[in-house]
Structure 1
Amino acid sequence: MVQTTSGDGIRTLTLDRPDRRNALTSAALRDLEAAVEAATEPVLYLHGAGEAFCAGADLDEVQALDAASAESFAALGQRVARALESYDGAVVAGIDGAARGGGVELALACDIRVATPEATLAETGVKLGLFGAWGGTARLPEIVGTGEALDIALSGRTLDAETALRMGLVSRVTAEPRTVAEAVAAVDADALRVLKARIRDDADRETQEQREQQAFADLTAKRE
């Protein structure tokens, strides 16, 4: 379900279930988590095989869940999203085709989201009497603001790439998302990791500034 390749500072993670638009089962989520944890490259590039990025959770599995297993399934998805978010390096999502539900949520956990002109994104769970529970209700308003997050989640509407760009849901729109990962992989790996850690830091401002000073000094020392 998750294929991995490595080269030129990039670990490519391919969601490889094109006949189901790369919908994720519990087993696939565990495979993705293991692939992220095993990676050591400065850049992870996450994308989908075929004509979709990721349709989200596998609905056949979701329909069979009871309350207890639903909680476990949500916890697993949240754990995978945290693994992407906390990866010691940059994580780039290449969104080509459809991203739905959990697919959007995994993309939200990535550092840079790059869409092709053909990409579409939607949180469609509300139409099924559910919602994506892989951390999206926290990350979506952080990224696009509360108003836009409510619009996206409560309506379940589908966004094209340009609309997603205007909202800040994606960072760029380009025909070849992988070129962004390649450009990021070309920068200094130590500085890349430090910058991600600093920007992701959620400590109070004074603590962040102290850590920033130390990180700058540490990088400077490596150049001496």
Structure 2
Amino acid sequence: MIETAVDGGVTRVVLDRPTRRNALTEAGLRDLRAAVTGAETPVVYLTGAGAAFSAGADLDVVTGLDRDEAKAFARLGQRVADAIEGAESVVVAGIDGPARGGGVELALACDLRVATPDATFAETGVSLGLFGAWGGTARLPRIVGEGEAMDVALSGRVVDAEAALRMGLVSRIVADPATVAAEVAENDPGALAVLKRRMRDDSDRAVQHAREAAAFADLVAENASTLSR
């Protein structure tokens, strides 16, 4: 279900279940977490096989769960999304085709979301009496603002790539999102890791500033010979 390959500074992680629009089972979620957190490259590129990014949770699995099992499945999805967000590598989501429900939530956990013109996004679970529970209710308002998040989540409407760009759900629309992952990987690995940690820091402003200054000083010291050229 999860395929990986390394190309230079990028580990490509593919959700590879195209006949199910790359829907994820419990095993698939665990394999995804292992693939992302186990990457040894400065950049991870997360994408889907076939014509979709991911349909999120496999509904055939969800419909067979009792209440306790459903809670455990949601918690697993949250841990996977948290692992993506907290990974040492910069994680770039390449979205081509539909991202639905948990697929949107996995993308939200990535550091960059890059779409093709064919990408679409929707929280369609609301029409089935469900909602995405892999951390999306916290991440979506933070990324696009509460108003946009409420509209997307409560309506279940499909958001196309251009609308996603306008609301800040994605940062770019390109023909091949893998090129953005390669572009990021051209930069210094140490600086990438530090930048990710600093921009993910939710401490108060004074603490953030102190950590930022210290991290900058560390990089200057580490790269003194390069900077002096």
Return the TM-score normalized by structure 2. Answer: 0.97
1:124-135 → structure 2 map (5 Å cutoff): 124-135=124-135
Letter of the 2:119 partner, please give it. Answer: A
Residue of structure 1 in register with 2:63 after alignment:
63
1:77-116 → structure 2 map (5 Å cutoff): 77-116=77-116
Q: Distance in 2 between matches of 1:223 and 1:8?
A: 22
SS at match of 1:53: coil
Question: Are 1:164 and 2:164 counterparts?
Answer: yes
State the Cα deviation string for residues 100-132 of structure 1 (Å, max 9, x = none).
000000000000000000111001110010000
Question: Are 1:46 and 2:53 counterparts?
Answer: no
State the Cα deviation string for residues 176-220 of structure 1 (Å, max 9, x = none).
100000000001111111011101100110000000110000000
1:1-224 → structure 2 map (5 Å cutoff): 1-224=1-224
Q: CA deviation at 1:89?
A: 2.1
Q: Distance in 1 between matches of 2:37 and 2:161?
A: 30
Letter of the 1:177 partner, please give it. Answer: P
Per mean C-alpha deviation after superposition, the further-off stretch among 118-127 and 31-40 is 31-40
SS at match of 1:114: strand
Aligned 8 A contact 2:92 2:113 in 1: yes
Structure 1: give runs of 5+ residues left out of the alignment.
none
Letter of the 1:60 partner, please give it. Answer: D
Q: CA deviation at 1:23?
A: 0.4
| Number of equivalenced pairs | 224
Letter of the 2:150 partner, please give it. Answer: L
SS at match of 1:132: coil
User: Identical aligned pairs, as a percentage?
Assistant: 67
Q: CA deviation at 1:223?
A: 1.6
SS at match of 1:30: helix
